[in-house]
């Protein structure tokens, strides 16, 4: 059967040789990239100390990033691409040393693409708190141990502040475009509201104006799945042997999340009530195909992600409320001055299209009027990674002027 991967990896792909290598052996205590691992296409920016909204200080802050294209002389052609919750900076390129998965948006970013790297200089950072080279819980604290459970609570605004520092380090005063999907769309929206004069074009894709109580509730079950795994050990698991870390809880959290990322129509159509083995559903020892699908991706996920990062990033998503301390959502959205594209997926059950319509109406400068562009897709939230032909046309339109 062909396995489709979820949210932040290449969709509709069969199990590859890279998958087979990744799944070999017992799951590591953490799938985080660590110093000393192959660098791959990463570059690193050292940002100095960063103080969070809560007043916690990260004394040494680093963002890993990748880039494509050439920065022009006046640095006016830089585009910031922001990844989803469990994504990373690897927008383009094959899986290989340093990169567990292939590029997640190659149909959108590249030579001649909707974000044309023959014209634009594209930068994609791994977000603060992530586990693919940026400072996060798996990073080494100045005292020589892992940050682990000591890593501070982060907000979306803290992560955007780190991206702002990255722009400063790279000498980019104004972005030609800021583009993000899902959690990256939260970052993009914050950029448009916090720094309206520094964003020429803005694309907010499959992201809400604020995380709702329903979304926070669903997220809380994923965090509980991780925390009750005995291997989690309160977040202090980095010295554990392979197979002894919180891989069961992390895999279960991923399975829960995938049910929000995928569409009901797509899951029912693909799997129906098909059985994964020759054993009858009335007997013992067999599994429904959809169960096997979720297991495969949950287990694969533990090889490339970190449980503490998962928790900190979920907390950051839960903090998202573009109207907080700004007079409410509509008041905040009114600050955006960029030429803006807002896109929703009609079957998205994670961030429903009502949220994208609210963003579009509040901004008032969208390229399609007062409503968001709605993409029809059976794939649910993951549609923004799968329906790249339709989405690409809209993104190309945004960057045409």
State the catalytic residues: 182, 348, 381
Name the residue among 145, 146, 10 with its Cα closest to residue 84: 10
Strands 57-68 and 121-125: antiparallel
Judged on CB neighbours under 10 Å (0-12, 13-18, 19+), 374 is middle
Phi-psi region of 327 (alpha: psi -120 to 50; beta: other; left: phi over 0): left
Judged on CB neighbours under 10 Å (0-12, 13-18, 19+), 342 is buried
Place of tokens 């469990």: 86
Place of tokens 């940026």: 134
**C-alpha–C-alpha distance, residues 306 and 314, integer Å:** 12
**C-alpha–C-alpha distance, residues 33 and 55, integer Å:** 27
Cα–Cα–Cα angle for 391, 396, 401, nearest 5°? 145
- Is-contact 135 62, C-beta < 8 A? yes
- Give Cα separations from 148 to 107, 161, 280, 313 (angstroms): 36, 22, 45, 14
**Those residues with Cβ within 8 angstroms of residue 77's Cβ, 6 or more apart along the chain or in another chain:** 69, 71, 119, 120, 121, 176
Name the residue among 324, 317, 264 with its Cα closest to residue 290: 264
Instruction: Give me the DSSP letters along 213-264.
Output: HHHHHHHHHHHHHHHTSGGGGGG--TTPPTTSSSHHHHHHHHHHHHHHHS-H
């Amino acid at each position: 059967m062909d396995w489709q991967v979820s949210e932040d990896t290449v969709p509709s792909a069969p199990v590859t040789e890279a998958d087979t290598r990744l799944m070999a052996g017992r799951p590591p205590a953490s799938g985080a990239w660590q110093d000393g691992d192959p660098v791959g296409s990463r570059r690193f920016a050292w940002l100095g100390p960063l103080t969070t909204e809560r007043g916690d200080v990260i004394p040494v802050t680093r963002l890993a990033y990748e880039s494509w294209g050439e920065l022009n002389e006046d640095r006016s052609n830089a585009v910031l691409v922001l990844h989803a919750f469990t994504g990373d900076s690897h927008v383009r390129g094959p899986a290989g040393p340093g990169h567990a998965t292939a590029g997640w948006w190659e149909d959108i970013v590249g030579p001649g693409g909707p974000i044309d790297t023959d014209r634009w200089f594209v930068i994609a950072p791994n977000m603060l708190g992530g586990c693919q080279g940026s400072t996060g819980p798996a990073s080494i604290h100045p005292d020589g141990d892992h940050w682990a459970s000591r890593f501070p609570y982060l907000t979306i605004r803290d992560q955007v502040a780190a991206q702002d520092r990255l722009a400063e380090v790279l000498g980019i005063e104004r972005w030609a475009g800021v583009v993000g999907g899902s959690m990256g769309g939260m970052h993009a929206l914050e950029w448009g509201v916090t720094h309206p004069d520094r964003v020429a074009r803005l694309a907010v894709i499959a992201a809400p104006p604020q995380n709702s109580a329903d979304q926070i509730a669903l997220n809380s079950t994923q965090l509980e799945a991780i925390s009750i795994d005995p291997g989690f050990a309160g977040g202090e698991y980095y010295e554990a042997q392979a197979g002894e870390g919180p891989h069961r809880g992390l895999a279960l959290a991923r399975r829960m999340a995938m049910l929000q990322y995928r569409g009901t129509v797509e899951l029912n159509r693909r799997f129906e009530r098909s059985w994964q083995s020759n054993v009858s559903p009335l007997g013992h020892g067999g599994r429904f195909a959809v169960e096997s699908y979720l297991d495969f991706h949950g287990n694969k996920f533990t090889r490339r992600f970190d449980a503490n990062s998962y928790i900190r990033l979920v907390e950051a998503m839960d903090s998202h409320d573009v109207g907080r301390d700004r007079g409410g959502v509509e008041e905040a959205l009114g600050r955006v001055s960029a030429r803006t594209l807002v896109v929703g997926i009609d079957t998205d059950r994670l961030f429903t299209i009502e949220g994208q319509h609210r963003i579009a109406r509040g901004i008032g400068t969208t390229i399609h009027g007062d409503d968001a562009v709605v993409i029809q897709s059976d794939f649910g939230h993951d549609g923004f990674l799968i329906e790249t032909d339709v989405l690409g046309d809209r993104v190309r339109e945004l960057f045409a002027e």
